[in-house]
């Protein structure tokens, strides 16, 4: 389905890594699928010394490797490149924004300004856009991280909010655009099967994991001043938790969905500083081996301080203080240089109260739902069935919800879906300011405690699943991480 109308998509940071790997490939896939209005234009903006021909050459060299897994159609690619314009812009020069205004005014349709830049540039760019009248009838997309803490986040939001109304601001979290997250909403709120079970009476625990094999790569300077709690928990993990735990919305319009997510974030049980050591584990990777390749310790990575106490791993036990989830532990985990690249949500249902079929039916985790977000996007329901042969012997089996086999259409990548939502003015999958504030407010006591303690994180070898303390935290509740059970 094609976008509703024409558009002008202005991409700040137009030569940057995010633009090359994610944003322009996503726009190309939307173009290839016929989902962009024919008159829609893309304007790359950067300090790169180039004209349009030079920018197209740059895009050819840097974007092609990330598009079309099933092969690049050169004719389609050339038509996509025809959409692209380029404006060289120095943020310190007001006259460059006049040039940008003149270029944009020649184009038609909804105006989208995507800030694929560092957060320190968000406010200056917004002020400069307003100075030339480009903030009117426009939408602005803000990448994470939006601030370093609650105070800095509020400062950015206050400044941007003076220039753009809340309904013009799209705070992007690409995990919310992933197909399994969308299907989680469909499973919960489109079927009578799951909703009666989606509560404390039938759910024993829930795990949410985002694990990476990669280290900090070339982002050592940035990461050493950020850490895993700010980089992943405050946004991605808490957003996924709110989707899992939210009440059924009145409708799927943007405010109905985000109102319910906000209620979850506000119901998070505050962590008492005296309990932080018991419910929060922080770690830092040391040298190790991943898939046969030796990798260095975090403290020896370029840009990282040798005595750094920045965490590269976090595991948390979280509780939600409401009637649906009281007493159900949510275990959140994220880390770098772990044993595998995986993002998944694991819903462990309670075992049957009594089994006439032996102890297997009483085993924790015998019934569970596993929503895999990456690397392959699947939803799998585990249950028990009789093994063939004599006797009543039970074994774990699973039902695969293989959407790629049932639906012949290609699945959208997260950025593709979210960019189309921006162009079409759909806000449901973007983070509202009050959600962001609630998340920061809950995270801050942990940040403050760790900063005050100034202790070294628990070490773990690269290529493992993190510090042993993360497993011990779950063992106290009679459970374990999914990969440990297997």
Q: What is the CATH number of the domain that holds 43?
A: 3.40.50.720
Report the C-alpha dihedral over residues 136, 166, 254, 141, rounded to 10 degrees: 70
Position 3 confidence tier, pLDDT thresholds 50, 70, 90 = low
Q: Are residues 216 and 139 in the same domain?
A: no
Q: Number of structural domains, the chain?
A: 2
Q: Are residues 134 and 212 in the same domain?
A: no
CA 157 to each of CA 121, 136, 165, 194: distance values in angstroms, whole numbers, following the listed order: 13, 18, 11, 37
What would the mean pLDDT of 217-245 be, rounded to a whole number?
A: 93
What would the mean pLDDT of 188-208 be, rounded to a whole number?
A: 93
Structure confidence by residue, pLDDT tens digits, 87-106: 999 988 999 999 999 999 99
91 is in an annotated binding site: yes
DSSP one-letter string for 439-474: HHHHHHHHHHHHHHH-PPPEEEETTBSS-HHHHHHH
- CA–CA gap between residue 7 and residue 445 (Å, rounded): 43
Q: Does residue 443 sit within a domain?
A: yes
62 is in an annotated binding site: no
Q: Are residues 85 and 227 in the same domain?
A: no
Three-class SS state of 289: strand
Q: Are residues 214 and 109 in the same domain?
A: no
Q: Are residues 440 and 371 in the same domain?
A: yes
Work out the number of other CB atoms within 10 angstroms of the CB of residue 8. Answer: 23
Q: Are residues 61 and 199 in the same domain?
A: no
- CA–CA gap between residue 85 and residue 188 (Å, rounded): 43
Q: Does residue 164 sit within a domain?
A: no
Q: What is the pLDDT of residue 375?
A: 86
Q: Does residue 160 sit within a domain?
A: no
278 is in an annotated binding site: no
447: which residues sit within 8 A by CB, 6+ positions away?
149, 229, 230
Active site annotation includes 250: no
Q: Are residues 447 and 334 in the same domain?
A: yes
47 is in an annotated binding site: yes
Structure confidence by residue, pLDDT tens digits, 364-388: 778 899 998 888 878 899 988 888 8
Q: Are residues 74 and 191 in the same domain?
A: no
Catalytic residue among 236, 250, 286, 398: 236
- Domain holding 369: CATH number? 3.30.360.10
Domain carrying residue 457: 176-411+432-485
- CA–CA gap between residue 51 and residue 57 (Å, rounded): 10
Work out the number of other CB atoms within 10 angstroms of the CB of residue 226. Answer: 17
231 is in an annotated binding site: yes
Beta strands in 192-341 (DSSP E): 203-211, 280-286, 288-290, 293-295, 313-318, 330-335
Q: Does residue 167 sit within a domain?
A: no
Q: Are residues 436 and 350 in the same domain?
A: yes
Residue 449 has pLDDT above 70, yes or no: yes
DSSP one-letter string for 78-133: HHHHTTEEEEE--TT-HHHHHHHHHHHHTS-SEEEEEE-S-GGGHHHHHHHHHHTT
Q: Are residues 119 and 264 in the same domain?
A: no
- CA–CA gap between residue 215 and residue 463 (Å, rounded): 11
Three-class SS state of 150: helix
Q: Are residues 235 and 380 in the same domain?
A: yes
24-33, 233-242, 294-303, 397-406: the lowest-pLDDT one: 397-406
Q: Are residues 250 and 326 in the same domain?
A: yes
pTM, 2 dp: 0.93
Report the C-alpha dihedral over residues 45, 51, 53, 55, rounded to 10 degrees: -30
């Amino acid at each position: 389905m094609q976008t509703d109308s024409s558009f002008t998509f202005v991409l700040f940071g137009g030569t940057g890594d995010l633009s090359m790997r994610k944003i322009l490939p996503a726009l190309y896939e939307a173009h290839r699928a016929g989902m962009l209005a024919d008159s829609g234009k893309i304007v790359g903006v950067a300090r790169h010394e180039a004209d349009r021909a030079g920018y197209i050459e740059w895009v050819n060299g840097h974007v092609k490797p990330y598009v079309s897994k099933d092969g690049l159609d050169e004719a389609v690619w050339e038509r996509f490149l025809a959409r692209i314009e380029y404006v060289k812009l120095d943020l310190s020069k007001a006259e460059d924004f006049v040039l940008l205004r003149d270029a944009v005014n020649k184009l038609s349709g909804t105006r989208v300004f995507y800030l694929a830049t560092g957060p320190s540039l968000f406010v200056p760019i917004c002020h400069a856009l307003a100075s030339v009248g480009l903030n009117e009838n426009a939408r602005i997309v803000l990448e994470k991280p939006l601030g370093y803490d609650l105070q800095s986040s509020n400062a950015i939001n206050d400044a941007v909010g003076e220039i753009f109304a809340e309904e013009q601001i799209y705070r992007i979290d690409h995990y919310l655009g992933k197909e399994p997250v969308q299907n989680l909403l469909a499973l919960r709120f489109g079927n009578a099967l799951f909703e009666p079970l989606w509560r404390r009476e039938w759910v024993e625990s829930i795990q949410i994991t985002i694990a990476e094999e990669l280290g900090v790569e070339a982002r050592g300077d940035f990461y050493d001043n950020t850490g895993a709690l700010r980089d992943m928990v405050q946004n991605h993990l808490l957003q996924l938790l709110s989707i899992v735990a939210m009440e059924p919305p009145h409708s799927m319009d943007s405010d109905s969905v985000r109102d319910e997510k906000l209620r979850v974030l506000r119901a998070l049980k505050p962590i008492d500083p005296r309990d932080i050591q018991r419910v929060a584990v922080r770690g830092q990777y040391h040298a190790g081996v991943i898939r046969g390749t030796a990798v260095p310790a975090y403290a020896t990575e370029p840009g990282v301080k040798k005595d750094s106490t920045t965490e590269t791993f976090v595991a948390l036990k979280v509780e939600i203080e409401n009637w649906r989830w009281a007493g159900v532990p949510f275990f959140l985990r994220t880390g770098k240089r772990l044993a595998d690249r995986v993002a998944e949500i694991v819903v462990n249902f309670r075992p049957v109260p009594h089994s006439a079929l032996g102890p297997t039916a009483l085993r924790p985790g015998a019934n569970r739902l596993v929503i895999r977000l990456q690397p392959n996007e699947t939803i799998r329901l585990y249950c028990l069935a009789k093994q063939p042969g004599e006797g009543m012997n039970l074994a774990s089996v699973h039902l695969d919800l293989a959407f790629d086999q049932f639906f012949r259409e290609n699945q959208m990548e997260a950025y593709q879906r979210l960019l189309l939502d921006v162009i079409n003015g759909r806000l449901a999958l973007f983070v509202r300011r009050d959600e962001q504030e609630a998340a920061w407010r809950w995270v801050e006591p942990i940040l403050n405690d760790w900063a005050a303690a100034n202790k070294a994180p628990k070490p773990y070898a690269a290529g493992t699943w993190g510090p042993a303390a993360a497993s011990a935290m779950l063992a106290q509740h009679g459970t374990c991480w999914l990969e440990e059970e297997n």
